[in-house]
Amino acid sequence: MTFPAKIRTVLEMIKFEHSVFALPFALTGALLAVRESGLELPAMWGKFGWIVVAMVAARSAAMAFNRVVDADIDARNQRTKERAIPAGLVSKSFTWGFIVFWSALLLAAAYMLNPLCLKLAPAALLIVFGYSYTKRFTALSHLVLGFALGIAPAAAWIAIRGSLDWPILLLTAGVMLWTAGFDIIYSCQDQEFDRREGLFSIPRSMGIGAALMVARLLHVGMVGMLVWLSQLLALGYLSLAGIGVVAVLLAYEHSLVKAQDLSRVNAAFFTVNGFVSILFFLFWAADILVT
């Protein structure tokens, strides 16, 4: 296989296009920071570019790391055995080179943003890499994954303001609850496999029905965090409309999945959540920039 073909295979393996999940929340965090700092948006375009680079780099490195660490587990799982590494399409050593490249790019982007971003970048890598091990010892791994995505808006806020201020932590908490909720839904597919392998998850610990209820409660919590942040920062009606759209989409997501029928998990996980992040960003960006 040629080098470009290997790169394409790795990008497919890590679902590169799913960078859309966290990136809109990061950009929202950046816009909120611009608003709260009284900065002029045109002067920030360069920083926004480096924020995009940093977010994509962090996610790409984290997903590739997860695929390497879980390669043996994936090989034993009927659902994942055709992934690139267990299927022999790319080697672990090649993927490690991919991880090093994106990690270095994250550090370079952090350097271009500000000193605090550079200081915190290794901690961010530790968090996103560390998630891959958590399902080996705790059912709270879903929340760890949520936190790994949730730091994106806080990191973007820091990139603009050069400091971490508590209001943006409400968006971090919202993204954490949202991610944990949809990860629980997705992991319902592996309940029996997790039990056989001794892996930890909410579906394995509580059963699928109870796990889906936990996911619903987490998503209610996400909506609550967004409302709190909107009120705290005195945002306008468009932000509330965006929260309403998110709430409807999450309700639809949960309507797709039943304890007795997981056939539409992929639609709930990939399609609906992609719309959640993008539409949330569009409504909040419009509120910040227009009202």
Residue ranges and CATH numbers for the domains of the chain are: 12-290 (1.10.357.140)
Question: What is the radius of gyration, based on Cα positions, of the chain?
Answer: 19
Statement: residue 112 has pLDDT above 80: yes
pLDDT score at 233: 97
Amino acid at 48: F
pLDDT score at 53: 96
Average pLDDT over residues 267-285: 90
As a dihedral over the C-alpha atoms of residue 244, residue 245, residue 248, residue 250, rounded to 10 degrees, the angle is -110
* CA 99 – CA 103 distance, rounded (Å): 6
pLDDT score at 22: 87
* Pick from 199, 179, 78: nearest CA to 135: 199
Average pLDDT over residues 36-53: 93
pLDDT score at 1: 72
What residue has token string 């919590």?
221
- Helix pair angle (45-69, 23-37), 10° resolution: 150
36 within 8 A of 233, measured Cβ to Cβ:
yes
More confident site: 266 or 170: 170
Amino acid at 196: R
Mean pLDDT of the chain: 94
* Pick from 85, 250, 262, 280: nearest CA to 180: 250
Q: Could you tell me what percent of the chain has a pLDDT over 70?
A: 99
* CA 13 – CA 21 distance, rounded (Å): 16
Statement: residue 17 has pLDDT above 90: no
Q: Which two tokens stand for residue 261?
A: 């029928």
Average pLDDT over residues 265-272: 80
What residue has token string 């569009």?
282
Statement: residue 244 has pLDDT above 90: yes
51, 196, 201 from 168: Cα distances, Å: 16, 40, 28
CA 189, 194, 199, 202 dihedral sign is positive
